[in-house]
Amino acid sequence: MAETINVTVRLDRDIKEQAETMFNGFGMNLSTAINIFIRQSLRQGKIPFEISDPYYNEKNIERLKQSIAEFAAGKVVEKTMDELEALENA
């Protein structure tokens, strides 16, 4: 059996508690979950899931391009916060 070592990981308390609750529901502790993540990363040679910023999705990029085109054409668009939030939820 390979020699094990302790590794310290810093997490926000709420994140740690949420993770422990979720992983306990899967029948494992946080240490096991971290081991699974690291082993999968090594097997695949990459992080085993996509990392992305939800802001940069196709819908938002298209809206940004449209806003840039309107601005370039001299059209200034004003929206209230409610209108902006409605766009986000559309």
Please write the tens of the pLDDT for every residue from 67-82.
Answer: 889 888 988 878 889 9
**Residue 59 CA, distance from chain mean position:** 17
Q: Is residue 1 part of a domain?
A: no
Query: Do 60 and 84 fall within a single domain?
Result: yes
* Percentage of residues of the chain with pLDDT beyond 90: 58
Same domain, 58 and 84: yes
Place 44 in a pLDDT band, splitting at 50, 70 and 90: very high
So what's the pLDDT on residue 25? 96
Q: How far is CA 16 from CA 13, 60, 66, in A?
A: 5, 31, 41
List the domain range (segments joined by +) for residue 76: 54-89
Has residue 7 been placed in a domain?
A: no
- Angle (CA) 66-70-75 rounded to 5° is 150
Q: What is the pTM of this model?
A: 0.58
| Residue 49 located in a structural domain | no
Structural domain includes residue 3? no
Domain assignment present for 77: yes
Q: Report the alpha-carbon distance of residue 54 to residue 41 in Å, rounded.
A: 22
The two three-digit tokens of residue 87, written as one number: 């766009």
Give me the number of domains the chain comprises: 2
